[in-house]
Amino acid sequence: MCEANAYLKEGEEETLFMESVDVIEPYGNGLKLIDIFGKQKFLRARIKDMTLLNHRILLEPIPNSEEVSHAFSCS
C-alpha cells in the first residue's frame, strides 16, 4: 500500500496531521486530504515537500496575510 502520512510544519515543529493519506486535492484556499478509509480533512495549507518512497507529505500553513492578494480570485 502506498498511502502516506501527512505532517504539518509549524515553525520548527512537525506534527502528524493525517495518517494513511490516499488523495490530495486543492480545495478552496487550501487542501483536501482523503485517507484510505475515506475520511476527509481540510486545512489551509500547501504542500511544502513530498517524498513518496518515504510515505511522507509535509504541509505548511498558508499565512492569513496571503488572503488579501487572492481577494479577487474567482473561486
| Candidate segments 7-15, 37-45, 50-58, binder of its own copies by CB under 8 A | 50-58
> Contact 44/59 with Cβ under 8 angstroms?
no
Per DSSP, the three-state class of 38 is coil
Q: Does 64 bind its own copies (CB under 8 A)?
A: no
Q: Does 39 bind its own copies (CB under 8 A)?
A: no
Q: How far is the CB of 35 from its own copies (least distance, A)?
A: 10
Q: Which of 15, 16, 37, 52 binds its own copies (CB under 8 A)?
A: 52
Euclidean distance between CA atoms 75 and 61, whole angstroms: 19
Write out the three cell numbers for 13.
Answer: 515543529
Q: Which of 11, 37, 53, 65 binds its own copies (CB under 8 A)?
A: 53
| Number of H-type helices and E-type strands within the chain | 1, 6
